[in-house]
Amino acid sequence: MSAPCRPLDLTGVLKDAPIGEWIALSKDISKIVGTGKTLEDALKAAREAGETEPTVMKVPPVGALIL
C-alpha cells in the first residue's frame, strides 16, 4: 500500500503568482519557472527556463471558492 498524500503549503511559492494566469512550477515545486495567459505559454516559458518536467496550475481569481 502506498503512503497517503499530504497537502503541500505553497503559500510562499505562490505569493507573487499572477492572478488568473497559468503558472509552471519547478520539478521540486520550489519556484515559479514560467507564467502565461494560456497553458501553452506557461509551458513554453518553463522550457525556455530549462525546466523539462514542470507542475502546472492556473491561479484562481481573487475571491474564488477553492475546495
28 located within any domain: yes
DSSP three-state, residue 40: helix
Please count the structural domains in the chain.
1
The answer to whether position 64 is within a domain reads: no
| 2 domain residue, yes or no | no
Question: Using a CB cutoff of 8 Å and minimum separation of 24, what contacts does 17-21 make?
Answer: 17/59, 18/59, 19/59, 19/60, 19/61, 19/62, 20/58, 20/59, 20/60, 20/61, 21/58, 21/59
Asked if residue 54 is part of any domain, the answer here is: yes
| pTM (two decimals) | 0.81
10 lies in some domain: no
Residue 3 lies in a domain: no
User: pLDDT (tens digit, 9 = 90+) per residue, 6-58?
Assistant: 888 888 998 989 999 999 999 999 999 999 999 999 999 999 999 999 999 99
What's phi and psi for 5, nearest 5 deg? -75, 150
53 lies in which domain range? 17-58
Q: In this predicted structure, what is the pLDDT of residue 38? A: 97
